[in-house]
Amino acid sequence: MKIEFKSEREFDLIAIGRACMDLNAVEYNRPMEETMTFKKYVGGSPANIAIGASKLGLKAGFIGKLADDQHGRFIEQYMRGVGVDTTQMSVDHEGHKTGLAFTEIKSPEECSILMYRDEVADLYLHPSEVSEEYIKKAKVLLVSGTALAKSPSREAVLKAIHLAKKNDVKVIFELDYRPYTWASPEETSVYYTLVADQADVVVGTRDEFDIMENLKDGSNEATVSHLFKHSPELIVIKHGVEGSYAYTKSGETFRGHVYLTKVLKTFGAGDSYASAFLYALISGKDIETALKYGSASAAIVVSKHSSSEAMPTVEEIEQLIAERSKEAVTNQ
């Protein structure tokens, strides 16, 4: 099965939501208390996905709000430099700052993120700053869950989804759950469900789907059974090292396996997975191939220091898939 997109659109993908700063520990294998140097990168799930998609050759755009400061200007310049259209990234003039994420790399298995997300500029995107003329130029609108956490960003995203559906733009919902941005799990569940029911494709970890359903240990079967009563035609549920599962409304199930690699850190895997998975779908590849692209991209990014800057090319992804296929044949 393949997902059908409008072929004549100017943009392959337009993302909306969070663009912020990642400050990644340069010194590995030590706690943040002892880390003295950090390297800055653009961060934020939808920004990373737009950057990853652009590096893979898709035409990507971004709707968001940046702080009127040095960090805001760095984000815009970097994204524009890698080919993302930034004409719909507005500037906040009310004193809100850029979100910051400090990352700790104690070991490949033990990484943590210290977030500064209070009163950040990206959550002040107003519905009036979302253009129908812009959205109707896209094949895909990518929405990430964090942008739903506060008003007015929440209403801006809901408006964007309405405009996408009105103009036959596919809505992809990447759950991207960050607990510190939300008032309560119940609130998260309400808005996640509202958006997931309207999306065409929903992507997240099993834990994120549990948050959406306000459950402790949900099952994939129950999740897809509910969502397929609504708009989604494809649901991707990731299970960490066990791989990922893709479910189609027509009843097919596909399994994606993890490509083992030398892991440096765990963050960035989800965004790189999403960008390559969507690249494959938008390029007309089947779902099974798209799962391989997502897994290969994630394997490449977790072996490198950054998230956005480490986003791979198509050649790197296809080379990794080819190498692992050869290894599998050799080991049989």
Contact 146, 181 (CB under 8 A): yes
Partners of 100 in beta bridges: 21, 116
Strand, helix or coil for residue 132: helix
d(CA 219, CA 224): 9
The segment with the largest mean pLDDT, out of 103-112, 280-289, 300-309, is: 280-289
User: Dihedral angle at the C-alpha atoms of 136, 178, 287, 328, nearest 10 degrees?
Assistant: 150
CATH number among 3.50.50.60, 3.10.310.30, 3.10.20.30, 3.40.1190.20, domain 11-19+45-96+123-331: 3.40.1190.20
Enumerate the domain spans of the chain.
11-19+45-96+123-331
What are the Cα distances from residue 233, in Å, to 3, 125, 256?
8, 29, 18
AA letter at 98: T
d(CA 182, CA 192): 12
Residue 6 has pLDDT above 60, yes or no: yes
Residue at token pair 């997240």: 204
Residue 159 has pLDDT above 60, yes or no: yes
Residue 331 has pLDDT above 70, yes or no: no
pLDDT at 285: 96
pLDDT at 329: 52
pLDDT tens string 226-280: 999 999 999 999 998 899 999 999 999 999 999 988 777 777 789 999 999 999 9
DSSP class of 280: H
pTM of the model: 0.95
pLDDT tens string 63-79: 999 999 999 999 999 99
Nearest partner of 263 among 29, 1, 12, judged by Cα: 29
pLDDT at 65: 98
Strand, helix or coil for residue 140: strand
- What the block records as the tokens of 310 is 């480490």
Contacts (Cβ under 8 Å, ≥6 apart) of 283? none
Contacts (Cβ under 8 Å, ≥6 apart) of 292? 256, 280, 321
pLDDT at 265: 74
Q: Mean pLDDT, the chain, as a whole number?
A: 93
d(CA 166, CA 133): 12
What is the separation of C-alpha 111 from the centre of its chain, rounded to a whole number of angstroms? Answer: 19
The more confident residue out of 147 and 329 is: 147
pLDDT tens string 111-141: 888 999 999 999 999 999 999 999 999 999 9
